[in-house]
Amino acid sequence: MEDLARERLIESARSHHDIKNINLYLANIEENIIRIKNEGESIIDEVFLAFNGSISHISLYAYLYDHKVSVNLDCLQLIYEQSYIEEEKVIGEGSKEQESVVDIAKFDSDLIHYLVSECRSNHDESTNFTHKEIEQIIENHKNRIFDESIRVYKDKYGDAIKIYNCFIDFSHFFYDEKKMKFIKKKKTDIVENYNNYIDANTDVEFYELKYHLLTKKAKGHASVLFWSDALNEIHIKNKTIITSVDAIKLTNTGHQHVIGILGLNRDGDMVIQGIRNEIKLFLNRECVINHGLYCIGHVILVQGRMRLANKTFYAAEIMHPPRNFEEERNEEDMFYDFENEKEKKEIEEYEIIVRKNDRKKNWIIMHDVYLDNPHTFEVLDKMFTLYVNTYPENELPVGFIFMGDFISLKFDYNKNFHNVYIKGFEKLSVMLISKFKLVLEQCYLIFIPGMNDPCACKNSVPQMPILPYY
């Protein structure tokens, strides 16, 4: 290719992709190899052999070498993996018969510039950098980007993701048996010792009240009828007769619909629980599991038969109990402790958008999403980038479900671990706002606490389905 055509290609690539001068090494790689080899102080031959003559690796090494950053093969590969974006094929100028294709490597020029600057500012030119030192510099660069993004976007968007301390920021409740609903208590002073605050008696009492409320919600639906009320009901022809786990008759071997809480017993067996009773649950391949997400602690409705020989309920179908969503609209304040009407309006507008999204597509489910680990954000960044870059050719998933633990250490209520949580979720929110707005606009984001995540009820309080739309 003629020199003029080559220079135009490089200049075009630089102007469009902010590659800066690192790609000039790609254009003049032969001259750079000869020059560096003549100086006799490099490992460029080892780089050539180790990476099968990869022009991108050699160019990156040549760039670092000329900027007095001495690295071994492991360090070079680490820098390459963290800074390499992709190769873009560019067609050179000339007649159709003589057209040639040039691979222009796209690197993260900001990362390379930061790396060189840090190495030259804090180390001598003779320093041979270790893998750990290079890894730390790269991590510092990524943290710097997050910190800068937080400052830029916080003024514009506020707190995209809000982290609440459920003991301090939310009101507590008591159950009014006459009104059959939870009533807010007045906020009390800050609790000094959270571990002492969460006692067994509080757990059991709240557990019973929540289970009572959820079964009442199902009981009020027009399509079902509890067995205890069936004797006085005239029109039972088109209704599903439901029995609670506490009232089930073990001698009834016919088909039954049983409502209870999905759980695990001490032996690790799946059970359906009530307040005073639990029954072992058996699921075979023929069992029909209806739409929805089923987690331990959810109130579920199971159809099946009881076997007396082993006192086990053999499930033929599992579903979520029916609910009256219009009635539940009045209870939203139990979950949102609104500061003002403006914030409440924003939540309502978001819920309207969510309800319009009725696509039945795939969900992406992840667990152990450690938000205090930089590697987690690297994985999430690659995953979101893949979905965004291939849209609309490939449809986005309905949503992303992040399952805990959200911290690599076991949460301690007495050591201000909530600050670590806030920082992790802030990093996630900044990444989504700054790079993946399409995900925020089109997808659900659901967060489910893990076993070691903070939870006021120690994960024991009965829960309705994660998504009420199924």
* Least confidently predicted of 231-235, 407-411, 419-423: 231-235
Q: Examine residue 345 and state whether it is found in any structural domain, yes or no.
A: yes
**Residue 74, domain member (yes or no):** yes
Condensed to tens digits (0 to 9), the pLDDT of residues 358-373 reads: 555 688 888 889 888 8
Point out the least confidently predicted range of 96-110, 279-293, 333-347, 398-412.
333-347
Residue 118 and residue 33 in contact, taking contact as beta carbons nearer than 8 Å? no
Do 105 and 15 share a structural domain? yes
Which residue, of 267, 302, 319, is where some domain finishes? 319
Q: Which two tokens stand for residue 375?
A: 């590697």
Q: Tell me, yes or no, whether 346 and 375 share the same domain.
A: yes
Reply yes or no on whether the pLDDT at 302 is more than 90: yes
Beta bridge partners of 281: 313
Q: Are residues 15 and 131 in the same domain?
A: yes
Q: What is the predicted pLDDT for the residue at 50?
A: 84
CATH of the domain at 228: 2.40.50.140
469, part of any domain: no
Domain limit, last residue, from 271, 298, 319? 319
Q: Please indicate, yes or no, whether the overall pTM of this predicted structure exceeds 0.85.
A: no
H-helix or E-strand containing 160?
none
Mean predicted confidence (pLDDT) in 347-366: 60
Total domains in the chain come to: 3
Considering the domain architecture, whether residues 26 and 146 belong to the same structural domain is answered as yes
Would the pLDDT of 213 be above 60? yes
Do residues 284 and 386 share a domain? Answer: no
Q: Which range (138-147, 204-213, 240-249, 342-351) has the least confidence?
A: 342-351
Residue 136 falls within a domain, yes or no?
yes
Residue 372, domain member (yes or no): yes
DSSP 76-100: HHHHHHHHEEEEEEEEPSS-GGG--
Is 341 in the same domain as 236? no
Residue 155, pLDDT above cutoff 90: no
**Identity (one letter) of the amino acid at 285?**
R
379: tokens are 């994985």
Q: Are residues 340 and 309 in the same domain?
A: no
CB distance 95 to 72 below 8 Å: no
Residue 398 is encoded by which pair of tokens? 């309905």
Among candidate residues 236, 194, 161, 208, the one with its CA nearest the CA of residue 422: 161
- Give me the mean pLDDT over the 93-117 stretch: 68
What pLDDT sits at residue 49? 84
46-57 pLDDT, tens per residue?
A: 888 888 878 788
Is 263 found in the same domain as 332? no
User: Taking all residues of the chain, what is their mean pLDDT, rounded to a whole number?
Assistant: 72
What's the pLDDT at 96?
A: 52
Residues 15 and 113 in one domain: yes
Contacts of residues 208-214 at CB distance under 8 Å and 24 or more positions apart, as own/partner, are 208/275, 209/175, 209/182, 210/461, 210/462, 211/261, 211/274, 211/275, 211/299, 211/462, 212/175, 213/175, 213/180, 213/181, 213/182, 214/299, 214/321, 214/462, 214/464
> Is residue 105 one of the residues assigned to a domain?
yes
Lowest-confidence segment of 2-11, 179-188, 301-310, 401-410 by average pLDDT = 2-11
Confidence band (pLDDT; 50, 70, 90) for 328? low
- Residue 141 resides in a domain: yes
Q: Which of 110, 126, 154 is the last residue of a domain?
A: 154
Q: Are residues 405 and 386 in the same domain?
A: yes
Is there a single domain that holds both residue 271 and residue 406? no
The token pair at 341 is 């009407």
Ranges of H-type helices in 252-366: 325-328, 341-356
- Quickly state the pLDDT bin for 7 (edges 50, 70, 90): very low
CA–CA dist 74, 79 (Å, integer): 9
Residue 201 lies in a domain: no
Tell me, yes or no, whether 267 and 387 share the same domain. Answer: no
Domain of residue 233, residue span: 224-319
The residue among 50, 55, 49 whose CA lies nearest residue 25 is: 55
Does 337 have pLDDT greater than 90? no
Please indicate whether residue 31 or residue 228 has the higher confidence score (pLDDT): 31
